[in-house]
Chain A
Amino acid sequence: MAVTSPAIAGAHQYLDAQVRWRTIEIVFWLATLLPFVVTPDYLVLASQIAVTALFALSLDLILGYAGIVSLGHAAFFGFGAYTAGLISKWGWGEPLTGLLISGLAAGLLGYLMSFIISRFRHLALIMITLGFGLLLHELANSASGITGGADGLQGVKMWPLFGAFKFDLYGRTAYWYALIVLFLLFLVSRRLINSPFGLSLRGIRENAVRMRAIGAESRSHIRKIYTISAIIAGVAGAILTQTTETVSLGVLDFQRSADILVILILGGAGRLYGGLIGAIIYMIARDWFSGVNPQYWYFPIGVLLIGVVLFLPNGILGGLAQIVNSERGQRCTGWLTAPLPWRRRP
């Protein structure tokens, strides 16, 4: 075995500590089963939350960990959603293979995009992702022969899961399905983030120039994580299609890209659970306010955004971590409570 320097040993120790499961994480995942028992009438909402959480997780991988700002991430969500819808419409309604194909299709699109994405930063990057999202939206709108345009895709019919569990009106199968996929992809992301690859992503987020200087190829890393993120976003979109058996143009909206950014920032970017917590709070709040005019709904969201940026720069989870640590009388414990470096201008 090769001799490892203390620095590398320290990094491995750090990664090992991150990989260990904490009690609160186990409690969190057990709590996701509660809707089956406590609120069986709200399983449809619960499955929508799981889909949104998965989508937020995909954005977290690129925004929270690699520092790539995207204002058009709905492109991949929508691409996955339409792929899943079209596969089913063209006669293959098996959910799992449909999910796989949709994820891979979105991943392919993400891989192609990643060559562009990895070359830009700052305003140009924001504008390119925004423009790309709008482009895909227009494309789906114009190609109404295939996508149904503004009327949405009709005739999506899913076969029962494993040939046994039908997607019912109560969302029982839908929630199981969405939750299990979310959990599996969460495990993958967690493993990914706590690997040396994940660590170098954080390096890129904090100082891309220096990462290049110490020999880490940041562009290929960015391409990889962007592709993975696109796959996950595509899978999230596909689940939405399969559980609701319809696709509307809304899956590609700019609004959806903005919403998911809000959700992630609200929960706390750069923390795996940030997107999940944000999705739960946002979706439940929106369900409560669903009776009022949707345009009014943006008032509290806007106030929240302003408040988070001005007073809670690391989201709800970051704020909580700060409170917990100060209760314990601990000093700032490194990356958990320190303001994320990418939120400061170098």
Chain B
Amino acid sequence: MITSVFGVLFDGFAYGMLLFLLSVGLSVTLGMMNFVNLAHCTFGMIGGYVTVTLMNSWGWPFLATLPVAFVVAALISVVFERTMFRRLYRATDLDQCLLTIGLVFVSVATAAWVYGTIQQPVQLPPYLRGSVQVMGLTLGVYRIFLIVFALVVTGLLVAALEFTRFGAQVRAAVDNQRMARGLGINVDGAFAITFALGSGLAGLGGALAIDIVGLDPSFALAFLVYVLIVVAVGGLGSIGGTFAAAMLLGISDMAGKYYFPAIGSFLIYLVMISLLMWRPAGIFGRRT
């Protein structure tokens, strides 16, 4: 009983890490520009397909594909941002939702056309497969790798936001965009870079997610809901809030599926709605 509790906690933690990587970029960009980017998971999907292509067609090792997934997702996101998104920063939530959901549809159809609708297989290197015994618990090596990797990324992210000049500019822009502009901070430039970084992280998350949840064209839509829940519950622009919400969601989702398979995701949606009704700005959010 106890081991199963820890097993579920561990799996949920790994899953939460994945959700965190996928959603942290959206949280920060939403907090900065109030831009509702429903296409965020598309960048995750792009990262996933980059890894699959490099590994299966070009024979690259898994770890070497991860930086490429990051860079490609970031570059494509910059193209989208420059050509389309920036025209809608002052438009309504609805217009932003519609444009970006349109992009999701296009990306889903394109992925289905290029790669087919089947799940993409990946062959992990031997040192990431299997499991190890730690104090009577069987832990998947890949999940340990995922947790360590995501924790390192989180650490870097927090350090970059807290201790660099650029991070200070980003925090200023999230707190009060007009004031930041008034102080001479190049908010648009900072936003473009943040947007690229956030999308790159999503791409990384997509690449890392293949072994856990699989990859098919519906990825961009299926994970959108989870990412939105994380962002809305965690509060816009709050890294800590996003992290807490991702862990909460990851663990409760795993626990729900393990202990109450009949109710499925029902509990999660219920918790999300109740949390939002209690605090519309998210647990750690300061404004709506």
Contacts and interface: CB of A to CB of B under 8 A. Distances in A.
A193 to B, nearest CB: 19
B94 A302 contact: no
Interface string B93-104: 111011101111
Interface stretch (A16-24, A79-87, A293-301): A293-301
Interface in A11-33: none
Nearest to B236: A123
Contact of B105 (A122, A138, A298): A298
Nearest to A258: B101
B80 to A, nearest CB: 11
Contacts of A343: 91-92, 94-95
A96 to B, nearest CB: 34
Contacts of A301: 102, 105
Contacts of B266: 135, 138-139, 142
Interface in B232-280: 232, 236, 262-266, 269-270, 272-273, 276-277, 280
B93 A126 contact: yes
B106 A298 contact: yes
Interface in A100-127: 116, 119-124, 126-127
A343 B92 CA distance: 6
B179 interface: no
B129 interface: no
Interface residues of A, number: 47
A257 B136 CA distance: 47
Secondary structure at the A interface, as helix, strand, loop or mixed, is helix
A123 B87 contact: no
Interface in B146-183: none
A131 B277 CA distance: 12
B117 interface: yes
B137 interface: no
A128 B276 contact: yes
B58 interface: no
A344 interface: yes
B273 A135 contact: yes
A126 B217 contact: no
Nearest to A71: B97
Interface in B173-214: none
A68 to B, nearest CB: 10
A116 B277 contact: yes
A299 B276 contact: no
Given A69-B97, A126-B93, A127-B272, A134 B109 contact: no
A139 B263 CA distance: 8
Contacts of A120: 276, 280
A169 B84 CA distance: 47
A152 interface: no
A130 to B, nearest CB: 7
A310 B228 contact: no
Interface in B64-97: 84, 87-88, 90-95, 97
Contacts of A308: 98
A309 B217 contact: no
B106 A130 contact: no
A306 B104 CA distance: 10
A238 interface: no
A295 B288 contact: no
B127 interface: no
B36 interface: yes
Contacts of B107: 302
Interface string A242-268: 000000000000100010011001000
Interface string A299-342: 10111111011100100000000000000000000000000001
Given A69-B94, A305-B98, A310-B99, A293 B104 contact: no
B63 interface: no
Contact of B263 (A142, A295, A313, A342): A142
Given A142-B266, A298-B106, A305-B98, A122 B93 contact: yes
B109 A295 contact: yes
A69 B288 contact: no
B158 to A, nearest CB: 24
B218 to A, nearest CB: 8
A181 to B, nearest CB: 28
Contacts of A134: 225, 265, 269
A146 to B, nearest CB: 13
A195 interface: no
A127 B279 CA distance: 13
Contacts of B95: 309, 313, 343
B109 A299 contact: yes
A111 to B, nearest CB: 17
Contacts of B272: 127, 131
Given A131-B273, A299-B106, A306-B103, 4 more contacts: A124-B276, A126-B93, A131-B276, A262-B98
26 contacts: A120-B276, A122-B288, A123-B30, A123-B36, A124-B280, A124-B288, A127-B229, A130-B225, A130-B228, A131-B229, A132-B273, A135-B270, A138-B263, A142-B263, A262-B98, A293-B117, A295-B112, A295-B117, A297-B109, A298-B109, A302-B101, A302-B105, A309-B88, A309-B98, A344-B92, A345-B92
Nearest 10 CB-CB pairings of A with B: A305-B102, A302-B105, A299-B109, A302-B106, A295-B112, A124-B280, A298-B105, A306-B102, A135-B269, A138-B266
